[in-house]
Amino acid sequence: MINHSVLKSGTHSSQPDRSASIATLVIVAHPDLEQSRINRRLAEELERRGNVTVHRLYETYPDEKIDIEREQALLLAHDRVVLQFPFFWYSSPSLLKKWMDEVFEFGWAHGPGGVNLKGKELIIAISSGGSPSMYQAGGFHNYSYSELLRPFQQTANLTGMIYRSPFIIGRIREVTDEQLEKYAAEYANYVEGEKVVTGTSA
């Protein structure tokens, strides 16, 4: 079952309902994006439509020396922030963690005077090799995706951002080309501000 934006392989149904456009920044953090069938296709679909800013983090900073002022300016120029990444060891790839550590500065993103992210939306978009049943109490990983993504939700809480439902593609090794095209379209619809109507399929 799809739960709002949460998309898992094998069950999926959506109908877009266009809403007002919102300036959206998508941070794509994959250490080898060209070799990633899922994340590359999602990013390509967003770039093909041309309605959002796609920022490929590892390509921008191959030396991992982050331009903090540039990144903060990007954040200020957008009202919705999407963090797209493969779910590595229950977290994000290391460069995205470093990006958050350095860009979400005390006094800028939180703490006294740190109000620059307040009111902006935050969406987490992840790809995972595990099946949905593995991410639940009693499953192989013991905890649900929502529980494992709590640090990102708390980051939104701390910075005054609005945490929206994550977009999740599971069982990535089993996703067919046809399914991937549908997932890419649903992802772009969600990121661009279109509402995903939940549903189930046999």
What is the DSSP pairing of strand 162-163 with strand 121-127?
parallel
Q: State pLDDT tens for residues 108-161.
A: 999 999 999 999 999 999 999 888 889 989 889 889 999 999 999 999 999 999
CA distance 68 to 17: 36
The pTM score is: 0.86
CA distance 135 to 147: 9
User: 178: how many CB neighbours lie within 10 A of its CB?
Assistant: 8
- Per-residue tokens: 126: 């992840």
Q: Assign residue 34 a region (left: φ > 0; alpha: ψ between -120 and 50; beta: otherwise).
A: alpha
Q: State pLDDT tens for residues 157-189.
A: 999 999 999 999 999 999 999 999 999 999 999
What is the signed CA dihedral for 170, 172, 174, 178, rounded to 10 degrees?
100
What is the DSSP pairing of strand 167-169 with strand 162-163?
unpaired
